[in-house]
Amino acid sequence: MTQFDPHHPSQAHGDTSPSSDLSSPPSSRRTSAASRVRRVLLGAAAAAAGVLVWQVGAYAFGGAEAAVVIAAPKVDEPVTGARTETAVFAGGCFWGVQGVFQHVKGVTKAVSGYAGGAAKTADYETVSGGATGHAESVEVTFDPQQVSYGKLLQIYFSVAHNPTELNRQGPDSGTQYRSAVFPMNEAQRSVATAYIAQLDASHAYSKPIVTKVEKYTGFYAAETYHQDFLTEHPTYPYIVINDLPKVNDLKRLFPSLYRDTPVLVKTASK
What whole-number distance in Å separates Cα of residue 210 and Cα of residue 205? Answer: 11
Across the range 172-195, mean pLDDT stands at 98
Helices (runs of H) and strands (runs of E) counted in the chain: 10, 8
CATH topology of domain 85-268: Peptide Methionine Sulfoxide Reductase; Chain A (3.30.1060)
Domain ranges within the chain, ordered by starting residue: 9-59, 85-268
Counting Cα atoms < 13 Å in the Cβ hemisphere of 8 gives: 21
Least confident of 49-63, 95-109, 248-262: 49-63
**Among 55, 7, 61, CA closest to 30:** 7
**Among 243, 256, 3, 260, CA closest to 138:** 243
What pLDDT sits at residue 266? 85
Name the band, by pLDDT with cuts 50, 70 and 90, for residue 63. low
What pLDDT sits at residue 104? 98
Across the range 207-233, mean pLDDT stands at 98
Least confident of 26-40, 57-71, 131-145: 26-40
Q: Are 178 and 1 in contact (CB under 8 A)?
A: no
Q: DSSP secondary structure string, 151-171? A: HHHHHIIIII--TT-TTEETT
**Predicted confidence (pLDDT) per residue in 100-130, tens digit:** 999 999 999 999 999 999 999 999 999 999 9
Which candidate in 46, 93, 135, 191 is catalytic?
93
Name the band, by pLDDT with cuts 50, 70 and 90, for residue 65. confident
206 a catalytic residue: no
Cβ contacts of 91 within 8 Å, gap of 6 or more: 97, 156, 160, 161, 162, 163, 169, 179, 180
The model carries a pTM of 0.81
Higher pLDDT, 166 or 33: 166
